[in-house]
């Protein structure tokens, strides 16, 4: 129970990044982040195939999400 509380706390602290307005770049400084290879889902097919292999051969699965990053357009 205590272990779970500690883990949740660690996560909550990391989500405080939402309030870190000094981290980040101006909208026009996202040239490198806009590159295809910098997208979180840039190798989606590979990641999906790998996840399938590791899901079948190991006891842990998942963890990733693909939202955010990129050029920040629109």
Partner 1 sequence: MRQLRLSTLFFIISFSPLSLSFAQEMSAPDFAITNDQLPDKLSALTGQVVYLDFWASWCKPCRKSFPWMNQMQQKYAGQGLQIIAINLDTEEALAKAFLEIVPADIPIIHDPAGKIASDYQLLGMPSSYLIDKKGTIRFAHKGFFTRTEALYEQELVLLLNE
Partner 2 sequence: MQLTSKSNVTGKTKKVTNVNSALAAATCVLLGTTPVVQADEAVWEMDTALLYYGETDRITAVEGVFSAKKDFGDEHIFSGKIILDALTGASASGAVSQPSAQTYTRPSGKGQYVIDAGEIPLDDTFRDTRVQLEAQWTQPLWDDMRGSAGVHLSKEYDYLSIAVNGSLAKDFNQKNTTVSAGLSLAFDTIDPEGGLPVAFSEMVIDQGQFANEQAYQAAFDATRQTGTDDKSIVDLMFGVTQIINRRMLMQFNYGYSTSDGYHTDPFKVLSVVNDQGLTQSLVHEGRPTERTRQSFYWQTKYALDSGVADISYRYATDDWDINSHTIDSRLRFNLSGNTYIQPHFRYYQQGAAEFYQPFLLEGSTLPAFASADYRLGEMTAYTLGLKYGMKMPSGNEWAFRLEYYQQDPKNAGFDEPGALQQLDLYPSVKAVIAQVSYSF
Question: Rule CB under 8 A: which residues touch partner 2?
Answer: 4, 7, 10-11, 14-15, 17-18, 20-21, 23-27, 29-33, 35, 37-41, 43-49, 51-72, 74
What residue 15 binds from partner 2, partner 1, none (CB within 5 to 8 A, per partner kind)? partner 2
Token code pair at residue 68: 């955010």
- Note the Cα 59 to chain centre separation in Å: 22
Phi, then psi, of 8 in degrees rounded to 5? -65, -40
Q: In whole angstroms, how close is the CB of 2 to partner 2 at the nearest point?
A: 13
Both tokens assigned to 8: 């949740």
Query: Least distance (Å) from partner 2 to the CB of residue 1?
Result: 12
């Amino acid at each position: 129970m205590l272990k779970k509380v500690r883990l949740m706390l660690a996560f909550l602290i990391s989500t405080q990044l939402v309030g870190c307005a000094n981290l980040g770049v101006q909208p026009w400084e996202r040239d490198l982040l806009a590159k295809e290879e910098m997208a979180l889902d840039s190798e989606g097919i590979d990641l999906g195939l790998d996840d399938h292999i590791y899901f079948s051969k190991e006891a842990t699965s998942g963890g990733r999400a693909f939202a955010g990053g990129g050029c920040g357009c629109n």
